[in-house]
Structure 1
Amino acid sequence: MDTDRKIISLRFNQDQGCFSCCMESGVRIYNVEPLVEKCHYDIETVGSVAKCEMLYRTNLIALVSGGTRPMFSDNILLIFDDLVKKFILEITFPSSIQAVRMRKDKIIVALLTSIHVFSFPAPTQRLFSLETIRNPRGLLELSPLAAGEKQIIIFPGHKVGSVQILDLACTEMGMSSAPVWISAHKGELACLTFNQQATKIATASVQGTLIRVWDLATKTQLVELRRGSDPATIYCLNFSSNSEYLCCSSDKGTVHIFAVKDLWKNKRMLIPNTNIFGKYANSQWALANFTVPQECACICAFTENNSVIVGKTQKEISAKRNFFVIAACLDGTFHKYVFNQDGNCNRDGFDVFLDVYDDDENLL
């Protein structure tokens, strides 16, 4: 592949309506539905970039340099303003930045063994820091703005396989409390995510065979879903906007779609004697799936199909509502499947998003 077309990382914005593409040649921002390039910044403007965090569809994005032609060190966080086409904020850390998350009033940065929370936009100052277990994957998620006033972060707890939950509002007000955590897996965490309402989280370990969904209020497990029987690297987990479904991508080249609300929709093994196979026989398998290039890292998400259904009641429309499930891959391919609640999943579109050009609009 041409070096200038080499993709370093991909990431959705908070509502999965856009995704950023970090490249050796700069950064590109794409709209998901319809697929169109919203803006791009070339290497002369931003250098090669390893990480990009959007703030919904605003003019502000957070960047961390990387790749072979970086403009800055990877321990410097940069905020770029699309309106003025320049960097407006720079924060230097003692070590490499593993992850960045943003909301309208805060920036959260994960280093290898610590997390730092800053006020934003101005005056930008550090509110507090905390020590963490080693976090080379940069696992850190922030509750979406769709969750109202909730401002919760989740990240790996000090016990291997656990998820620590921290309410930033309580910490900001000086309220102290014992650490809240969920013992999610026996092995190290590989992936975690919120639903849009920040009432549930989904987790996967480095084993990659099981995905667990947890109730955030009670800290109890809601369901255990089986991706497969052999180990895999989980790249991405995302809930649908109504929290009824969950999608998962891995290095096996398959995107899996699970039911989270109506669990009876998930597939199960038809084994007469379940005692021989134990919990495995009772596993809930994906109700639908589709394939992408194997061993090519990709991110996946749902976007609603807003097609008008004529002559149907609202209840009938809800029952028949379809989702698009999309996957954007590091090889530059974009896969779009239409998924209905019966579990049918059919290809609706395919593109090479690197060949999709600017629509001459601003990011806003």
Structure 2
Amino acid sequence: MSDPVIFVGFTPESSRLMIGRSDSVAIYGLDPFEVIVEQNSCGASHLAQLNETSLVACVGTGSDPAFSPRVLRLINVTTNAIAAEISFRSTILFINFIPNLFVILLENILYVFDIQSLSAIFSQDISKNRTGLCAVTQKHCAQHLIAYPHNETSVLLFDVVNLKTVNVFKVHRCRISAMAFSSAGSELATASLRGTVIRIWDVKDGRLLHEFRRGISPVKIMSLSFSHDDAFLASTSDTNTVHIYAINASPEPTSTSAISSYYPKSLTAPSLSRSDYQLRLKANTPSLKRNRCIGQWHASTTKLFIVTSYCGDANLLVLTFDFWNGAFHLIAEDSLTPAESEFVDAVAITRDAEEPTQGTSVDWAEIDMATAETISSARITNSQNDRRQMN
């Protein structure tokens, strides 16, 4: 049995799936399903792919001293060449590429890096975020926003391009556990640690648009995902269940006494409704009660990708959702068990700097978006000395 799955991520176009374990990394094509990369010489706690190229940002798990969770590596997975390394003072909890930039989240700080120069162009202290929880709008959106907890119950929306805060508002009574932007980037879905209620907010003014009751028993929400047309929201949990919520195009909120006292008097609380459709997945083993599952809608169809994992077992389910008949149809199921292969040789880790070190400029225009030619190694050498010591 393989090591447990640590990281599950989809590319924004839903064309590829990335899996990180303590001892392996895998990238799969989704349409059709194919193994693109399976490497077993190291693991990854976080992965992000630069568009549709072979350039992947990889953060180690720390199980091997050569692959620290404090070092970000840009790797050409086609040639196993390391394009660059950036060392941080503390563990990297989130990475994401947006046009011309990429975002790094540590427990107490947000960084924005320029892709061309690999230098930090912005950094900001944030509230403690131990899990690296955040959401990023898709690259086609008018605004490139990142949402992360402002405190345990509120979210902060930050414009990554203009480098400014655009909104802060309260979303739950207890700690936030999951969030996701709509495909258009105009709405934000959130769930709390209890996992019983899911809310959808207007990004512009922080107004509550929808509130859905997932259930009455506390669960851990593993993922939230809007359909490509923002007509539906899918939520997955650690109880083998997938819930689908139908979102009205022009909701007319109705006041309810049970929840209206929670919101500012200037806002009207919409009525609380249950999910419109529910799917319970078959457990990986007969005795299994809790099975981690993470979902993602296809970027342009009604396909829903579900990754289920328990211990070392992981599978990909591809479902189609029949809205008119309220039914799910399983059209494919594939194993995500890694095969034997090689990964990038262990390399010397750059000394932990007081700040992330800047990198030699890389000519990203030379990268073929289809094949991603080998990039010369650009070892990070220049330290920043104009910022305080990281915790």
| TM-score using structure 1 length | 0.80
- Closer, same or farther in 2 for the Cα pair 1:230/1:85, shift >3 Å? same
- Is 1:162 the equivalent of 2:154? yes
Distance in 2 between the 1:363 and 1:9 partners? 25
Q: In 2 relative to 1, CA 356–243 (structure 1 residues): closer, same or farther, beyond 3 Å?
A: farther
| Distance in 1 separating the partners of 2:241 and 2:189 | 18
Q: Secondary structure at the match of 1:127?
A: strand
Give me the identity figure in percent.
Answer: 22
Asked if 1 retains the 8 angstrom alpha-carbon contact of 2:62 and 2:69, the reply is no
Q: Distance in 1 between matches of 2:66 and 2:32?
A: 32
CA contact (8 A) 2:39 2:340 kept: no
Q: Which runs of no fewer than 5 residues in structure 1 stay unpaired?
A: 265-274, 307-322
Question: Any idea what the Cα deviations from partners look like across 1:16-67, whole Å, max 9, x if unmatched?
Answer: 2211011233211112232221223331xxx221111122322211111006
Paired position in structure 1 for 2:328: 345
Which residue number corresponds to residue 14 of structure 2? 16
SS of residue matched to 1:326: strand
Is residue 308 of structure 2 the alignment partner of residue 329 of structure 1?
A: yes
Report if aligned partners of 1:49, 1:70 keep a CA contact under 8 Å in 2.
no
Question: 1:117 offset after TM fit, Å?
Answer: 1.1
Contact 1:324 1:336 in 2 (8 A): yes
TM-score by length of 2: 0.75
Is residue 2:115 matched to residue 1:136? no
Shift of 1:196: 2.0
CA deviation profile, 1:209-266 (whole Å, cap 9, x unmatched): 11111111222111011111111111100101111111111112101111123699xx
Aligned residues: 321
- Measured after TM superposition, the shift of residue 83 of structure 1 is 4.7
2:214 and 2:84 map into 1 onto residues whose CA distance is: 41
More helix by share: 1
Indicate the residue corresponding to 2:245 in structure 1: 258
Contact 2:56 2:74 (C-alpha < 8 Å) held by counterparts: yes
1:73 aligns with 2:71: no
Task: Report if the CA contact (8 A) 1:157-1:164 is conserved.
Answer: yes
Contact 1:252–1:295 (8 Å) recurs in 2 = yes
After TM superposition, the runs of 4+ consecutive aligned structure 1 residues lying more than 4 A away are: 277-280, 355-358
CA shift, 1:99, in A, is 1.0
2:275 — aligned with what? 286
Structure 1 pair 165–304 and aligned structure 2 pair: CA distance change class (3 A): closer
* One of 26, 29, 32 as aligned partner of 2:30: 32
**What residue number does 2:296 align with?**
301
Q: Which runs of 5+ in 2 are unaligned?
A: 261-270, 284-288, 342-369, 373-391
> RCO higher in 1 or 2 (8 Å CA, sep ≥ 6)?
2
- Listed one character per residue, the Cα deviations across residues 179-217 of structure 1 (whole Å, up to 9, x for unaligned) are 621211111110111122211111111111111111112
Are the aligned partners of 1:53 and 1:63 in contact in 2 as well (CA < 8 Å)?
Answer: yes
Q: Report the CA distance between 1:344 and its aligned residue.
A: 1.8
Equivalent-residue separation in structure 2 for 1:113 and 1:351 (angstroms):
38
Cα RMSD of the aligned pairs, angstroms, is: 2.7
Q: Quick check: 2:40–2:340 contact (8 Å CA) kept in 1? A: no
| Corresponding letter in the other structure for 1:18 | R
Q: Classify the secondary structure of the residue corresponding to 1:101.
A: strand
Residues 1-364 of structure 1: pairs in structure 2 closer than 5 A: 1-3=1-3, 6-43=4-41, 47-66=42-61, 68-69=63-64, 71-120=66-115, 122-148=116-142, 150-158=143-151, 160-171=152-163, 180-261=167-248, 278=258, 283-292=272-281, 293=283, 294-303=289-298, 323-330=302-309, 331-342=313-324, 343-354=326-337
8 A contact 1:141–1:154 mirrored in 2? yes
Report the CA distance shift for 1:344/1:142 in structure 2 as closer, same or farther (over 3 A). same
Q: 1:137: Cα distance to partner? A: 1.4
CA contact (8 A) 1:15 1:196 kept: no
